């Protein structure tokens, strides 16, 4: 296996373990065993576990960013409908995992924000990129007059993302999709309420 492929396999297997059990609970030996890499090989590919953690955040970011991009930039679909399809996708994904895994970026943020500054800053950048995609979609919704022209789209995108992550956290605690469904219904009820009464 080429060096680049080996590194990617360590990241992929490590990301799966971290998503399931957390960053601090996942040991290097466990990661190497899952990836089929000899003991002691980890530092050939990464300077430290923190360096590995940054790569894992990038791995999750690439996946989630692609999902956001797939739904939120679909110009064949009305902007608010794109947002609705994005949340429908996540709802199905959460149900498939029995509400157990949640959002890997949210999980890592809760676990590491107070203990590792480099990872915290990296996660903050990832989150802002995702929020910017929501804001861009909302800006398009202004253009087709689905939402008011004077709505602050960046503030609203932050509000939506914060609600998303809070709903996912609650979903994991109660092991039920209901908090996420409640969030989704409330968000679109709010956006609908912003439109003139005759258009609701």
Question: What number of other Cβ atoms are within 10 A of residue 129's Cβ?
Answer: 13
Listed by start position, the domains of the chain span 1-46, 48-199
CB–CB of 120/113 below 8 Å?
A: yes
Give CA–CA dist 18/83, Å, rounded.
Answer: 28
pTM as predicted: 0.90
Quote the pLDDT of residue 1. 46
Q: Which segments of the chain have a pLDDT < 70?
A: 1-4, 195-200
Residue range 48-199 in CATH 3.90.1150.10: no
- Sheet strands (E) in the chain: none
Give CA–CA dist 71/86, Å, rounded.
Answer: 6
Structure tokens at 9: 């396999």
Q: Which CATH class is domain 1-46?
A: mainly alpha
Give CA–CA dist 184/84, Å, rounded.
Answer: 8
Quote the pLDDT of residue 195. 67
Give CA–CA dist 46/43, Å, rounded.
Answer: 5
CB–CB of 45/6 below 8 Å?
A: yes
The 8-class DSSP code of residue 100 comes to -
Instruction: Give which of 28, 56, 57, 26 is closest to 43, Cα–Cα.
Output: 28
| Signed CA dihedral, 137, 142, 143, 144: sign only | positive
Quote the pLDDT of residue 19. 96
- Asked if the domains 1-46 and 48-199 are classified in one and the same CATH topology, the answer is no
CB–CB of 194/148 below 8 Å?
A: yes
Helix H or strand E segment including 93: helix 79-96
């Amino acid at each position: 296996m080429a060096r680049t492929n080996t590194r990617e396999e360590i990241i992929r297997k490590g990301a799966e373990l971290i998503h399931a059990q957390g960053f601090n609970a996942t040991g290097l030996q466990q990661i190497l065993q899952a990836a089929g890499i000899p003991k002691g090989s980890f530092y050939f590919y990464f300077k430290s576990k923190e360096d590995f953690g940054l790569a894992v955040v990038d791995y999750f970011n690439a996946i989630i960013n692609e999902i956001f991009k797939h739904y939120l930039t679909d110009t064949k679909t009305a902007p608010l409908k794109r947002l609705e399809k994005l949340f429908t996708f996540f709802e199905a994904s959460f149900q498939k995992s029995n509400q157990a895994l949640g959002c890997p970026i949210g999980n890592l943020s809760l676990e590491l924000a107070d203990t590792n500054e480099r990872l915290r800053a990296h996660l903050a950048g990832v989150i802002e990129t995702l929020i910017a995609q929501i804001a861009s979609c909302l800006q398009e919704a202004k253009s087709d007059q689905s939402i008011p022209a004077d709505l602050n789209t960046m503030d609203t995108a932050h509000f939506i993302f914060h609600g998303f992550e809070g709903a996912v956290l609650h979903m994991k605690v109660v092991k039920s999709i209901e908090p996420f469904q409640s969030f989704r219904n409330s968000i679109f009820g709010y956006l609908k309420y912003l439109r003139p009464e005759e258009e609701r």
